[in-house]
Structure 1
């Protein structure tokens, strides 16, 4: 059985449950709807958190396998799965050892998770493994600012931010990591979004890519 002890942050998880609801009211709900629009077939969601995406999956999805390592968040996700419009199975696991067979999914979803995985290349390699050839990757992530001064500031605060925010790194170049993993980016939108004051507006990406290897 996979050891998930290093992923447990119960206090932070309870805060996230509250802040994610507030962020959705400020525009995050629409971001989630756009993230999932048009998905079909069997989907794996990596780092499903407290299940805020579940209500927005279209009925063209046959099954969602929702992977979440944090116990508190997974309990909330299980409750959300019960009322989802499509079948959702919440499972314990983490991004670098996904509980799925090779080429077993039509699409993968990452939503505000690649900022906090220990190794984005390892996580993306696992996503490539479980996706069928040509399978889709949908992504919604906050990333390093393109403003040089703000980007340097994010670099400087990353060590402290990681300790305070459960391993989250605010300065990752996630789009480059997706491309290096063997995905072709089909569309991407970059925008500033402030999930909840006093958190400043951060650069976010919303897009889709497909597996080429």
Structure 2
């Protein structure tokens, strides 16, 4: 059964939701499309996408994916995701919901996709626990996230900027060690590619990224 609903506040970021399509378009023109394809290349079966945003992943699901349940809490972004779902060759249902409280039964899906979303979730351990709950034993978590840099100097810069960054970026944080959080949630990371996302030859505070796959234990 889905997790019990708690009195969590509604997610609304109207300013960020208005500018995010332009941010995403810029990222996609500098390699973001290829990153999404890499993330989803091996996805199959029934999939939950957490924080689907505008639905930018929908065109990149392979034929092996039978259906996607896309969960998005922000109203404006959810409307855009619904429009993208209507044009998707993969069946996609867009639902209101939060990563910490997925409207999906236990052990019911083959994959969970977290794409540029764990940076902004208020309770990452709860969100990863939910991912584990809805995955069947041995199911896969596909993740693509910007993360805290392994370079101590760059990481210090991220921490300083992070004082104001979440206020402008819809709750986005620059300094999360997402891969470690995934491992601490009980997943086994089977592969992870770390890289800097460079735009016009320059790094940004959110350049350090990881794309990977983690498996829920079979028992």
Same fold, judged at TM 0.5 (above)? yes
Q: Partner of 1:87 in structure 2?
A: 91
Q: Give the gaps of 5 or more residues in structure 1.
A: none
Match of 1:166 among 130, 147, 170: 170
Q: Partner of 2:198 in structure 1?
A: 194
Aligned-pair CA distance for 1:196:
7.4
Q: How does 1:29-40 map to 2 (within 5 A)?
A: 29-40=33-44
Alpha-carbon separation, structure 1, partners of 2:40 and 2:140: 11
Contact map agreement 2:10 2:73 (CA 8 A) in 1: no
1:171-192 superposed Cα distances (whole Å, 9 cap, x missing partner): 0000000000011011100000
> Normalising by the residue count of structure 2, what TM-score does the alignment of the two structures yield?
0.92
Aligned-pair CA distance for 1:195:
5.4
> Tell me, what secondary structure is at the counterpart of 1:136?
strand
Alpha-carbon separation, structure 2, partners of 1:65 and 1:196: 34
Alpha-carbon separation, structure 2, partners of 1:21 and 1:4: 31
Q: Partner of 2:212 in structure 1?
A: 207
How many pairs were matched up?
213
Q: Give the gaps of 5 or more residues in structure 2.
A: none
Alpha-carbon separation, structure 1, partners of 2:182 and 2:199: 23
Match of 2:148 among 144, 148, 151: 144
Contact map agreement 2:196 2:203 (CA 8 A) in 1: no
Q: Partner of 2:71 in structure 1?
A: 67
Contact map agreement 2:197 2:203 (CA 8 A) in 1: no
Aligned-pair CA distance for 1:157:
2.1
Alpha-carbon separation, structure 2, partners of 1:14 and 1:154: 24
Q: Partner of 1:157 in structure 2?
A: 161
> Normalising by the residue count of structure 1, what TM-score does the alignment of the two structures yield?
0.95
- Structure 1's consecutive aligned runs of 4 or more residues displaced over 2 angstroms after TM superposition are 1-6, 194-199
